[in-house]
Structure formats: structure tokens, C-alpha cells
Amino acid sequence: MSGSPPKVWSKFSVKKKDGTIVNLRIIEAPKTISEDVHSLYVKYLICEETNCKLAGVPERPEAMQELESLFLEQTGDSELHVVVCCLDNGDDQNIDVFGASVMALTSKNYQEPEYEFKTKEMQKLFLIMGIFDNYYDEKKELDLERRFIDKGLFVRPEYRGLGIAQEFLKVRRLICKEFGVAVHGAWMTSYGTQKAAERDGWEVVCEVKYEDLAKKLGSEISIDLPSSKFMITRIQ
């Protein structure tokens, strides 16, 4: 890897189930690992995220292609901030990504582009997202000059349960502080992120029960998660 080493946001140690201590770090994602981050993002976020599954996106290749294209378009944005978790072994050339956190910095006047999708699955996904926005309009409620929009957080299955997601949320607070963002919020759509946010001191400001979402969609929903929660952290 050429150039300066990636910025280190956090260093921490975790104990695996077998008692092994592993030293980890969260760093600014170098462009040289963008393909790795993308493939893992697809496998462990798009394919597992609750709303994506409800919309049926992972089950249809054409819908996956549309969502992947959208992600690639966004990762070309200079305002996108991606951090990854990896071993703290001093090796900046062979980075094995354990997980990633993705956010986009926007201004108060930012307007989300209008998207037109060909697949009914992507149309349904954005319908679901619109319903969530009607429950809690982040832009209106937080009323910030600048804010970080959540674009996803994932941890590879073999490294879950070690506190990595919580460390990512801690790093999000550090990033917000550096950029002068007073409050950061995100829809937590899994048990893992909800619990990680609770442990990190985030507040629940809105909760959408999936039984209520089913009524709005006019269809049954069969998932174990009872609700999604919009949770915020106030930057000190």
C-alpha cells in the first residue's frame, strides 16, 4: 500500500469464546480494500438486513444488482466515510476486514436523489424506507446544519458477539465530533445493533413495530425482530 498509513480511530482488545485475546483496530478504509468492503457489504448487510429481506431483494439477482449499483454510486461520493475493523498487527498492506461502518456527511439543504428502479423488490424496499421516514423524519427532527446519514454497519458472523459493533458506534461518535455534528441517528434494524447502541448509551426516539408495518404494506411479515428503533447519540 503506497502513501501514508490509514487513520486509526480506535484500538481495542476482545476475548473470543475460546479465551483467545485478539487485538483489533478501527481504521479509515483505504481505497485499496474497496472491493473487499463492497463484497462483504453485499454478503453481510444487504443479504441480512431486515428491510432488504422483507422486500425480497436478496432473492432476486436483478434487485441485488440495482442495490449494488446504488451502493457503488454512493461509495464514489467524496462525502462518504467508511471505517473498517481489522487486526491491530501493524500490517497496512494485507488488511482482513472483520466489519465496516458506512456514513455519508450531508448538509442541511441536501435532498436525496429521486431513484427509479425496475424491480418490484427495490420499489418495495424504498416504499418501506418511506414509511419509516414518515414515522420519524430525521432531517426535520434533528434539524442540523450538517449530519451523518447512516449507510449501514456490519460485522462478519465469526466475529459477532465480541463488542465490535459497539466499538463502531463509539467511533461514529468520534467522527461526528471531529466534523462538528452534534447528534447522530440511525434506524437499528437488528438485535445486534440495537443492543450495541443500548450499551453505548444511545436513546430510542422512535420505534416501529413490524406488525404495524405489515398493516401499512397490506401483507403479512414473518420475522423474529419485533420492531425497528431509531436511536440517537448526542455528541459531547
The tens digit of pLDDT for each residue in 106-165 reads 998 888 778 899 999 999 999 999 999 999 999 999 999 999 999 999 999 999 999 999
- Enter the C-alpha cell of residue 50: 431486515
pLDDT of residue 219: 83
- Residue 1: its pLDDT value, please? 42
What does the buried/exposed string (b/e) look like for 37-58 if buried means 16 or more CB atoms within 10 Å of the residue's CB? beebbbebbbeebbbbbbbebb
In angstroms, the CA 109 to CA 124 distance is 26
pLDDT at residue 69, as a whole number: 85
Q: What is the pLDDT of residue 156?
A: 96
Q: For residue 34, which amino acid is it?
A: S
Tell me the per-residue pLDDT of 22-75, one tens digit each, with 9 for 90 and over. Answer: 999 999 999 889 889 989 999 999 999 999 999 999 999 999 999 988 877 765
Q: In this predicted model, which residue has the larger pLDDT, 1 or 147?
A: 147
Of 224 and 167, the one with more pLDDT: 167
- Asked if 196 and 207 count as a contact pair (C-beta separation under 8 A), the reply is no
Domains of the chain: 8-234 (3.40.630.30)
Mean pLDDT within 5-18 = 94
Binned at pLDDT 50, 70 and 90, residue 195 comes out as: very high
pLDDT tier, 76 (very low <50, low <70, confident <90, very high otherwise): low
**pLDDT tens readout for residues 205-226:** 999 999 999 999 988 888 889 9
SS3 218: coil
pLDDT score recorded for residue 191:
94
> Cα 155 vs. chain centroid, distance in angstroms?
10
Per the DSSP assignment, residues forming a β-bridge with 81 are: 103
pLDDT band of residue 177 (cuts 50, 70, 90) is very high
Q: pLDDT: is 200 or 112 the higher one?
A: 200
Residue 30 exposure: Cα atoms within 13 Å on the Cβ side: 18
Q: How far apart are CA 167 and CA 209, in angstroms?
A: 27
90-96 average pLDDT score: 91
With a CB cutoff of 8 Å and minimum separation 6, the contacts of 227 are 207, 208, 209, 210
CA-CA distance, 194 to 179, in Å (whole number)?
25
Please, which residues bridge with residue 53 across strands?
Answer: none
pTM of the model: 0.92
CA 2 and chain centroid, separation: 28
Average pLDDT over residues 77-96: 89
